[in-house]
Structure 1
């Protein structure tokens, strides 16, 4: 009898452990609709989430399971992408056309993913066509677990600031503009959290601060085209985090944020209690567009000064600011070990891939490309075609060279662009920009070490200038005009991952590719099986096929 009771008790304890040991779940239901707003004083169609523009913040903690049930009440297909969230072993949930079937109008789909070891600031947005130009974006933060300290005291409050250039035309009108072969041209303004203060004394504050307290601001450039300089009247900013990494805490009067990038800063409310302007203005443009938002002191008296602090001039200033960014080697990561314990500079490079930004303006049709290949999305998502073992019917691997010549842009090919990279290899990628305009590039599924940005063209001798000690681990890289940038990373996250220009026009017109990273062991240790039932939509050539479990257990 005693033995039976012992077994029952042991089973109960085991069950309790399983229940208590599972990471918490966060559930969201989103109703995505059109609405009419006037962010710049002109009525226009915008994309709303639960009636909000921008959309609601996702406030998560490391290891949380995030479940988002999306009801698509637009009149067109919809996808959401979680910009910078690495989706370990789970490119099924990445939400870009190369991995995921769209949510059709009048239907719903539930995303489920786990935020892992990337404490920091991110954002989400609709990834089909030019939909991001009409909204549908919002902040996504990953907080540290209580077990893991951050390298600064807890702020009084934590605010998200989404800045971006803005067009008054709808996303469908902008798509037609690009389809006709023309460029987008100049935006009409700059928004901060979907607004731009008029300065007429009637503006409501975006944020309120208590005198003497310290606040954290998570700033993301969610725009389409322009790098932006962000600053706050009379308030210096201490940079503490960048795209999921704690950084050396330098103080800045202003910060350049290129498209797709997110920074976190600490601001102390130690000035005269009144209103102050937050300012975001375009960089590297002939005509400077400026957006403003009110930051108000609680019980403060007096309007913000009309004298706006000036932005820096020239891209050399921005390059020098980039060189001041350093990884905080003593801060703990999402696990209780220092960030700098990963000695990336001591790993042998197994492959070097050069991606040259190429542009074709021939035949009155504007196209952008990597190494002369301009990507087009396929009816069957690339990941699904690969998983169902029919990739050869949808695309070809490695149609671009790792070492292209500099005249590669003279001829341009339009077709799906997919690179195959060996699992768990350490790879160097060079982005070269021969154009006169700044570029911004992003890699899904990974963080990489941005080891150098320099003028000119890259050669192997340039490696002597790499930062092999404390380059910041991040997921977006800007490349200045007539310049190059080098990143290094281990491709240890199996799946199909997007590399793209963060400039919406460039991406829409072909400047993107996909990287296939396949586990040779086909083990669940390396990649999840395709989600069952309605948890993964099927479309194109794989629609209606039975789902196969290709991966075995641990």
Structure 2
């Protein structure tokens, strides 16, 4: 049941991305402590300490667009520091796009605070959970070398953080690039529990002052007016959400926590107020690096800036070259890119639209009130007029795919190993599972829909009893023994009309092959692989009816999940996992706090509890009920070409 929400006035907030030397009157100081060698250091000012807000937002949950401008005063160095953050996770009421609803914040803001660190730093995040539900934090793209128990996935690497409880995440960064964090409990991140994580390095070939002058983080989200738990509950029923098992489209998009929804589209617009657009000010004749994060739950976005071409310089933490005059950059859930624009096409006072446009080709149906494009205003210096710039005229592609791998050439070259020691395959599909004699629509990986026993972490079980304890009837899994140095993962997307962004935890991978059809392990041996410096990333889009072969180094002991990053598909069971180096898993240094989380299971809650949105074999989850839609009936309906206005 959705929460009842109260109307609150959304004060307009416009933000400026200014040059690094400018100072503003609005101060934002997150609870952050930095130490080096046991000595407390003065925290590096966050962006809001030198960027001014156009309006006071103290009476509402403040979007944090300007909090994500990276300051040149941040010292990029190799002197390892410990950076400590104190977070309170809570439910708030506000109107990010003008429509008032409940959502989740960290320290009163959504998205959450910026974490900005150096490679080699240790992060300590003290999480206080003030929600009425359990929670967790996953560090998306962070490999967690030696700290698999900090990956933040209930049922896989930890027990959930209880309502009213707390937990401290501690890990050291051994990589650099653009990353993010989000809840991995149920569908909480859809309701706002997410934020940016930027890791600098002296080894990064992309250098401020040489390759770019300013940096701005942009988190792009799709935004729903129904709360995520309500949507997931309905999807998992046999009636589905609004009468279909297909994942719904959102109502609008957000850029750094703010969007503009057209309230006139609602029959009853009570509690809705169309706000102003977010704004960023840039210096003319300079280069700005946008660090782009798709923090959405369903939508693939096309990012563009009117009249400005994009130079793509990073993909999922890997510095790249090869795509230098891009009009629109496609990026799907969980993916990150850096795109540099040269502000030399206008003069002081000019303004341009910055656009994040949803690719509706990725939706089964579209909501009748969907605002497909999230806008922001990019200003050359001080001005107040609304842009008159035009979008690029080239037609949006009629597909849902990644930017071509050949345009993403890693700057730091690394050829793939010539051979692999083990090859496994994960086949994903949409079908039905029988629960207590009733068929329910679910996603399947190797014919298994994931059942998540949140109080039985698989990592803990493998550490104690070895890899044989992983139950294949609950989760599709593959073992990469300690003797395996290089592994191949074949992913076959068996659904001809469904494209999926697949994300692997604990590792990045090299994409050594793509194609159409189904690839067997036997046939994979005869493929002509791309072994010459293939792109390295952690999230890949595989079109319907296609496959990809991912090669990775099996050097990070852990239980690493592989799942679709469309939140609704994950809720419907779209997850498998790999067990890497079981002997190494047993040798990890597990902190007492991990077991303490499991010991904090509330009295009366069974250890066999499954996460809402999953099911226990032989039982009907409390979220399930209603009628069914058979897969055979879905075949003709599951077409992205048929856009249905499904809202009431």
Q: Where on the TM-score scale, by shorter chain, does this alignment land: which range?
A: 0.7 to 0.9
Matched, 1:281 2:354: no
Shift of 1:225: 1.3
2:550 to 487, 494, 498: 487
2:426 to 333, 342, 355: 355
Shift of 1:141: 0.8
- Name the CA shift for 1:514/1:319 in 2 (closer, same or farther; >3 Å): closer
Shift of 1:452: 2.5
2:120, 2:173 within 8 Å by CA — same for their partners in 1?
Answer: yes
Paired positions, count:
493
- Name the CA shift for 1:533/1:475 in 2 (closer, same or farther; >3 Å): closer
- Name the CA shift for 1:18/1:103 in 2 (closer, same or farther; >3 Å): closer
1:214, 1:267 within 8 Å by CA — same for their partners in 2?
Answer: yes
2:451 to 359, 376, 391: 376
Shift of 1:60: 1.0
2:558, 2:585 within 8 Å by CA — same for their partners in 1?
Answer: no
Unaligned runs of 5+ in 1: 1-16, 329-338, 400-413, 544-554
Provide runs of 4+ in structure 1 moved above 6 Å: 17-22, 198-202
Counterpart for residue 6 of structure 1: none
TM, length-normalised to structure 1: 0.82
Shift of 1:197: 4.0
1:180 to 230, 237, 262: 237
Q: Provide the rounded CA distance (Å) in 1 between the counterparts of 2:97 and 2:470.
A: 43
Q: After superposing the two structures, state which structure 1 stretch, 454-463 or 259-268, moved more.
A: 454-463
Shift of 1:316: 5.8
Counterpart for residue 281 of structure 2: 208
SS at match of 1:217: strand
SS at match of 2:532: coil
Counterpart for residue 510 of structure 2: 449
Counterpart for residue 421 of structure 1: 480
SS at match of 1:280: strand
Alignment of 1:231-270 (within 5 A): 231-251=304-324, 252-270=326-344
- Name the CA shift for 1:261/1:351 in 2 (closer, same or farther; >3 Å): same
Counterpart for residue 439 of structure 1: 500
Counterpart for residue 440 of structure 2: 365
1:343 to 410, 415, 420: 415
- Name the CA shift for 1:148/1:416 in 2 (closer, same or farther; >3 Å): closer
Q: Provide the rounded CA distance (Å) in 1 between the counterparts of 2:388 and 2:274.
A: 11
Q: Provide the rounded CA distance (Å) in 2 between the counterparts of 1:506 and 1:155.
A: 38
- Name the CA shift for 1:520/1:48 in 2 (closer, same or farther; >3 Å): closer
Counterpart for residue 299 of structure 1: 382
- Name the CA shift for 1:72/1:312 in 2 (closer, same or farther; >3 Å): farther
- Name the CA shift for 1:198/1:175 in 2 (closer, same or farther; >3 Å): closer
Alignment of 1:323-342 (within 5 A): 323-328=406-411, 339-340=412-413, 342=414
1:77, 1:103 within 8 Å by CA — same for their partners in 2?
Answer: yes
1:155 to 212, 221, 224: 212
Q: Provide the rounded CA distance (Å) in 2 between the counterparts of 1:360 and 1:104.
A: 33
Unaligned runs of 5+ in 2: 1-35, 40-77, 263-272, 604-648
Counterpart for residue 290 of structure 2: 217
Matched, 1:473 2:536: yes
Shift of 1:295: 1.9
Q: Deviations over 1:67-100 (max 9, x none)?
A: 1101100001010000000100111100001111
Q: Provide the rounded CA distance (Å) in 2 between the counterparts of 1:504 and 1:496.
A: 20
Alignment of 1:387-406 (within 5 A): 387-389=463-465, 395-396=470-471, 399=472
Shift of 1:370: 0.8
Structure having the higher helix fraction is 1
Q: Provide the rounded CA distance (Å) in 2 between the counterparts of 1:282 and 1:463.
A: 38
